[in-house]
Structure 1
Amino acid sequence: MTSTVPPARGARRGRRAALKLGLALCAAAVALAALEGLARALERLRPDRATAQTRLPPKAPGAFRVLAYGGSTVAGLPIPEWGFLAQLEFWMRQARPDQRLEIFNLAVPGGSSTRALWALERTIRREPDVLIVLSGHNEYLHPRVEGRLYRRLLHSALYRSALRVAGKAFGPRFGSNPFSAPRTYDRDSALFREKARVYRENLRAMAALAQRRGVPLVLLTAPSNLADWPPAGATPPAALGGAPAGTAAPEAAALFESARSRAAAADYEAARALFERARDLDPVPWRALSEFNRAVRETAAEFDAVLVDAEAALTAHAEHGLVGFDLICDNCHPTPRGQAIIAQELLRGLAARKLWPAPVAAPADPDERLAVFLNRTLTPPQRRALESKYCFKTGRYAMLTPFFNFGAARMYFERGLALDDRDWRLYANLASLALLEGRCEEGRRLLEAAARCRGGALDPQDRRQTPYLKEALERMAAR
C-alpha cells in the first residue's frame, strides 16, 4: 500500500522549510552586518595604509586639490623626496606661490589599476580639481583576477581585514623571502588575457567616473627600462642552486640579446622594436605592456582626458631612443632625471588645459630643472644621504627574485660606496655577489670591510639587509 502526503500537509512543510531558510539567511545577514560594523570600527582605530590615505581632510577654502593614484612609480619609489609628484608640487608652487595647493599621493606600492580605481571611487567626492593616474606595472604582480567583484569587495572593511590577515599569514612582502617564486604567465592563457581586459576596463571606468563628476583627469603612460633590464629568469642562478638566469624565458631572452646586437650595430630603431617585444614577452611581466600604454592613449582620446605620454617623453630624452639606466633605475622606477622629465610633461599637460600656469622661470632642460629642484629642497648632507639610500635600495631590489640582476646590483652598490664608504650593507652585499660568482679573495676582503664598518660580526639571517649573505658564506666554506 502506497502512502501519500496530503497536499495541505506538504504545503505546510514547504512553508516551514522556506521560513527556516529565510530565518537562517536573515541571521547570516545580521551576523555579516555586525562583523562589517566591527571591522569598520577596528579599521578606524588601526587602518592599513591604503585605507588611511583615502580619508582626506576637508578641502581648504580656495585650495586647488590634486589627487594622484597608482603604484610604486606614483608613490615615488625608491626615493619619494624626488619623485615626480614632489617635483610637480615644487614647480606648481613656483608658478603660483599665492595659490593654496593640496597634493595627495594616494598611490600604494604594488597596487594594480583595480586598487587605483577603488581609491578613486572612495575619494572623488572630496572636491578634487585634478585627478592623476599612472598604472600598469603591477597588473600581473598578484595571481588573482582583480575584476569588478574584487573591487566591490574592497569597499567592505570585513573583506579588507581578511585580505590583511591572509597577506600576513601567506603573502610575505616582496624581498622578505629572496627565493620566493613569482607567477609566470603564458601569453595565450585565459588568465593573462583576462588581466589585460580588466586593465582596460578599469581605465575606462576611471575616465567615465571623472567625466560624470566633471573633474579633469590626467592619464599617464607607464615607461619602463628597455635597454638595460633583461627579461626575468624567474629561477635562481646557478650560484644559488638554481638554473642560470634567463633560462625560463628563452624567447624573450633571445629577443633581448638580438636587440643589444642591433643597438651595437647602430640600428637603433630595430633595436627598440626588439627590446619592446622582449619586454612584452617577459614571463614575469612586471613592466607595463605595449598594449597597456595603447589602452591609456585610446582611453584618453575617447574621454577627452589629458594625456601625458611619459613613455614617449622618456624615449625622446633617451640616448638613441633606448630607455635604460639613465632614466629608469631598475625595471620600472624612474631615476631622478626621469622623474624630472615626467614632472615637466605633467606641467605642460596642465598648462595646455589651462588648469595651472607653467612656471615662468623654469629651465627647459630637465637636468637644469632637476638641479634647481634638488638645490632648493634639500641640503647637501640630505641629498648625499638620499643618494646613498637610493643606491642601496635599488641595488638590493635588482639582486632579488625574479630579477637576479647581479650586474645592476653591483653597479649601484659600488656607486653607493663612492658616496658613503662607511655603509657596511654595501660592502656585505658586494661580498655576497663576489663569493657567489667565485671571486673568493675579493669576497673575503669585502666581508672584512663590512664587519669593520658594522663594528661586529654580520648576521647571515638578516635577509632584509643582505639577502644572499648566507648562501655566499656557505659557498665560501665549501671551497
Structure 2
Amino acid sequence: MQIWLFRAIAIMLPLLLLLAAEWLLRLGFATERVALFIPHPAAPAYLVTEPDITRRYFAANAARPPVKMEPGFILQDKPANSIRLVVQGGSTAAGYPFGVGASLAGMLEQRLKRTLADKHIEVVNTALSAVNSYTLLDLSDDILAVAPDAVLIYAGHNEYLGILGVGSSYLTSQSPTATLLWLKLRQLELYRSLEHGYQALLRPADTPDEKRRTVMATVARHKDIALHSERYQAGLQQFEQNMRLLLQKYQRAGVPVYLATIASNLAAQPPFNSLPPPPDQLAQLQKIAGILQQNAANSAALQQLNTLAAATTESASWHYQLGQLYLQLQQADSAKQHLTLARDLDLLRFRAPSAINDIIRRLAAEYDAVLVDAEQALAAQSEHGIIGKKMMLEHLHPSIEGYFVLADSFYQALYQQRQFGRWPKPVPAEFAWLERPILPAEEFAGQLRIAQLTADYPFQRAPKPVNFPAAQNAQQQLGRRYIDGDLDWLSMLQHSARYYQQQQDGDMLLKSLKIIADALPHDGMANLQAAQILLQAKRYGEARAYLKRSLLSAAPPAQARSLLQQLDAAKP
C-alpha cells in the first residue's frame, strides 16, 4: 500500500509544482489573456473588440504579421429588443481594403437598421486579415459569451498561407491536433512565460525592410503546394476539422450559423506560380489561337482546340491561357472549366481551391447551417457568369460592388429564413446600394491600398515603387492624405462631412454623419447629430435609435433626451 502511495505522490508532485508555478505567475506577474471583447475605457456601457487580437498567437517579443481588427462595439448589457449578429472570417469578411463600411458588418448593419427600425441592431465584426479556421474556432467561446442571435461566416482562403496555415511562415505544427493543443496551452501563463524566454534567446528582431512588406509577402513559406499533394490535403483536413468543431459548438449552444461559399477572381487573375505548359502543346495552342483570331467560326480550328483542351496537364498557366481563349470565343462553360482548373492548380495558394467550397456545402448540410451561396451570387453579377474584374479588385478582395453583392447574399438569406420574424419593409437592393455606408474618400483610399498590395509579392517578383493615381477631386485628396498618414480615419470622415455641408449635399452629409455615429456608438454628440439629420429626412424610426444610443453615452446630451421625448409623444 505504501509503495502505491509513494508512486502516486511521485506522479502528482510535478503536476502540483506546475500548478503552483502557474498560480504564482498569475498572482504576481501575469498579464491578462487577450480577450476578444474588452470594456471600453471611456464608455462603460460598451464592449469593444481588441484590435491586437493576434497577440493571442504570438509571444510578446515575437514577430507577427501587421494586422489589426477593426474596432466594433456592443452593449455590455444586451437589450431585450435587440438583434446581435457576429461576423467571422478573414480579410474579405473584414472589408479589406476599404474598411468597415464595405465589410459584411458595416453593410448589413446599415441595411438591417433601415429594415427593422424598431429593434436595436448590432452587427459586430470579428474578422481580420491573414487568419483561418484556427482563429475562428479559438474566438468562438468569446463570441458565445456575448450571446449572439446568429453567427455569419465567410472564410476559407487562408488555410494554406494564413496564420497557422499549413504552408505559412507562421506555422506551429503540421498536426491540427497538436496546433489545437498549443492554442489551449497558450492560455497558461507558465507556457507563455517559457515561450517568451525562448523567443528572446532565439528569434531575431524584424528588420525595417521586413516591417514594410505586405502581409502576403511575409506569410508564404512553402511556396509550392501542388494539387492533391500531402500538404494540399493537410490544408483541407485542417479546415474541415476546425470548421466541424466550430459548427458543433454553435449547434450545441443553439446559435444559428450562416455559412457562405467563398469566391475568387477567375477571369482576370493569372496563376501566381505554375508548372510550365507542355512546349509542343503551347506552340499548337498559339497556332490555333492565331487562326481563330482571324476567323472565330473556323470549325476545323475549333475542333483542334477542343481536342487540345482535353489533354491532361498539371500546368495552371496552360489552363489559364485556354480559359482566356474560350472567353474570347464566347464559350463560357469551357472558359469557366479551365479558369477554375487554373486556380486549383496554382501552386501558390493565396486563393482557396474548389475543394474548400465542397467542404463548406457538406458541413452546412450536416450541421443545419444556412448555406449562403456567395460565390454564385457574385458569379451571377459577372460577365459570362465568371467572376472577374467587375467583382474583384485583384485575386480575391471584392470591389465595392462585389462587397455589396456579398452582403446582399447574407441579407437575403436572413430574410428568407425569417430569422427575426416578419420583416415589414425589406430594403430593396437598389435602395441599399445608394445608401452604402462608405464615402468616395474611403473608396479612393482602398484603391491606393490595392496599388500598394499589388506592387509587392506575389504580384511582383520583387517589391516595386508604388505609383499612386493623382487625386482628381476633394474627396480623393482626403483619401490620399489618409493613406499618407496626414489624417486618421475619423478626421477624414469629419472633413468629408464638413465638405458636404458646405456643398449643401444633404444626402451625402446624412451618410457621413451616420457612418461617424455608427463607428462611435458611445459618442453622444455624434449620435445626436445623426439623429437630427434623420429627423429632417423624416426617418423617425432610425432617428429614435440614434437618440437612444446618444443617451447611453457617458455624458448624454440634454437635447437628445428632449428630442426623444418629443418623438415618443408624437409617435410618428
With normalisation by structure 2, the TM-score equals 0.60
2:130 corresponds to 1:110: yes
Residues of 1 paired with 2:407 and 2:218: CA distance?
Answer: 36
Alignment of 1:30-49 (within 5 A): 30-35=20-25, 38-41=29-32, 43=34, 48-49=52-53
Superposition deviation, residue 123 in structure 1:
1.8
Match of 2:242 in 1: 202
Aligned partner of 2:120 among 85, 100, 105: 100
Residues of 1 paired with 2:18 and 2:73: CA distance?
Answer: 30
Match of 1:308 in 2: 372
Match of 1:288 in 2: 352
Cα deviation 1:216-261 (Å, max 9, x = unaligned): 1100111111111111149xxxxxxxxxxxxxx9811222122111
2:411 corresponds to 1:347: yes
Superposition deviation, residue 139 in structure 1:
0.4
Q: Aligned with 1:124: secondary structure?
A: helix
Alignment of 1:182-261 (within 5 A): 182-183=221-222, 184-233=224-273, 251-261=315-325
Q: Aligned with 2:151: secondary structure?
A: strand
Aligned partner of 1:150 among 174, 179, 183: 179
Superposition deviation, residue 186 in structure 1:
2.9
Match of 2:338 in 1: 274
Alignment of 1:366-377 (within 5 A): 369-370=432-433, 372-374=434-436, 377=437
Residues of 2 paired with 1:198 and 1:211: CA distance?
Answer: 20
Contact between 1:181 and 1:402, CA under 8 Å: does it hold in 2? no
- Go from structure 1 to structure 2 and tell me whether the alpha carbon gap of 1:255 and 1:302 turns closer, same or farther (over 3 Å shift): same
Superposition deviation, residue 40 in structure 1:
4.5
Contact between 1:231 and 1:279, CA under 8 Å: does it hold in 2? yes
Match of 1:245 in 2: none
Superposition deviation, residue 349 in structure 1:
0.5
2:425 corresponds to 1:360: yes
Match of 1:453 in 2: none
Residues of 1 paired with 2:345 and 2:229: CA distance?
Answer: 13
Superposition deviation, residue 116 in structure 1:
0.6
Cα deviation 1:106-128 (Å, max 9, x = unaligned): 11211101111111233213211
Match of 2:17 in 1: 27
Match of 2:449 in 1: 393
Runs of 5+ in structure 2 lacking a partner?
39-49, 57-68, 275-312, 485-572
Match of 2:90 in 1: 71
Give the letter aligned to residue 114 of structure 1: Y
Residues of 2 paired with 1:393 and 1:323: CA distance?
Answer: 21
Superposition deviation, residue 78 in structure 1:
0.8
Contact between 1:140 and 1:195, CA under 8 Å: does it hold in 2? yes
- Go from structure 1 to structure 2 and tell me whether the alpha carbon gap of 1:116 and 1:264 turns closer, same or farther (over 3 Å shift): same
Residues of 2 paired with 1:150 and 1:73: CA distance?
Answer: 24
Alignment of 1:403-414 (within 5 A): 403-404=459-460
- Go from structure 1 to structure 2 and tell me whether the alpha carbon gap of 1:405 and 1:344 turns closer, same or farther (over 3 Å shift): farther
Match of 2:154 in 1: 134
Of 41-50 and 327-336, deviating more is 41-50
Give the letter aligned to residue 346 of structure 2: D
Q: Aligned with 2:160: secondary structure?
A: coil
Q: Aligned with 2:384: secondary structure?
A: helix
Contact between 2:130 and 2:215, CA under 8 Å: does it hold in 1? no
Residues of 2 paired with 1:69 and 1:338: CA distance?
Answer: 18
Contact between 2:85 and 2:150, CA under 8 Å: does it hold in 1? yes
Residues of 1 paired with 2:15 and 2:192: CA distance?
Answer: 23
Contact between 1:224 and 1:333, CA under 8 Å: does it hold in 2? yes
- Go from structure 1 to structure 2 and tell me whether the alpha carbon gap of 1:122 and 1:169 turns closer, same or farther (over 3 Å shift): farther
Residues of 2 paired with 1:213 and 1:42: CA distance?
Answer: 24
Residues of 2 paired with 1:43 and 1:91: CA distance?
Answer: 32
Give the letter aligned to residue 369 of structure 1: A
Residues of 2 paired with 1:102 and 1:176: CA distance?
Answer: 30
Give the letter aligned to residue 360 of structure 2: V
With normalisation by structure 1, the TM-score equals 0.71
Residues of 2 paired with 1:67 and 1:137: CA distance?
Answer: 19
Superposition deviation, residue 280 in structure 1:
1.0
Match of 1:445 in 2: none
Contact between 2:72 and 2:124, CA under 8 Å: does it hold in 1? no
Match of 1:83 in 2: 103
Of 192-201 and 31-40, deviating more is 31-40
Give the letter aligned to residue 373 of structure 1: E
Contact between 2:259 and 2:360, CA under 8 Å: does it hold in 1? yes
Contact between 2:154 and 2:262, CA under 8 Å: does it hold in 1? yes
Cα deviation 1:84-129 (Å, max 9, x = unaligned): 3211111101111110011111112111011111112332132111
Residues of 1 paired with 2:264 and 2:197: CA distance?
Answer: 29
Give the letter aligned to residue 175 of structure 1: T
- Go from structure 1 to structure 2 and tell me whether the alpha carbon gap of 1:191 and 1:137 turns closer, same or farther (over 3 Å shift): same
Superposition deviation, residue 338 in structure 1:
0.7
Match of 2:144 in 1: 124
Residues of 2 paired with 1:292 and 1:108: CA distance?
Answer: 19
- Go from structure 1 to structure 2 and tell me whether the alpha carbon gap of 1:54 and 1:384 turns closer, same or farther (over 3 Å shift): closer
Give the letter aligned to residue 328 of structure 1: M
Runs of 5+ in structure 1 lacking a partner?
1-10, 235-248, 428-479
- Go from structure 1 to structure 2 and tell me whether the alpha carbon gap of 1:329 and 1:359 turns closer, same or farther (over 3 Å shift): farther
Residues of 2 paired with 1:286 and 1:163: CA distance?
Answer: 30
Cα deviation 1:116-163 (Å, max 9, x = unaligned): 111123321321111111110110113334724423432433467859
- Go from structure 1 to structure 2 and tell me whether the alpha carbon gap of 1:177 and 1:284 turns closer, same or farther (over 3 Å shift): closer
Superposition deviation, residue 60 in structure 1:
2.6
Give the letter aligned to residue 363 of structure 1: P
Superposition deviation, residue 399 in structure 1:
2.0
Residues of 2 paired with 1:124 and 1:137: CA distance?
Answer: 24
2:79 corresponds to 1:60: yes
- Go from structure 1 to structure 2 and tell me whether the alpha carbon gap of 1:224 and 1:325 turns closer, same or farther (over 3 Å shift): same
Q: Aligned with 1:116: secondary structure?
A: helix
> Over the residues paired in the alignment, what is the CA RMSD in angstroms?
3.9
Give the letter aligned to residue 84 of structure 1: L
Q: Aligned with 1:79: secondary structure?
A: coil
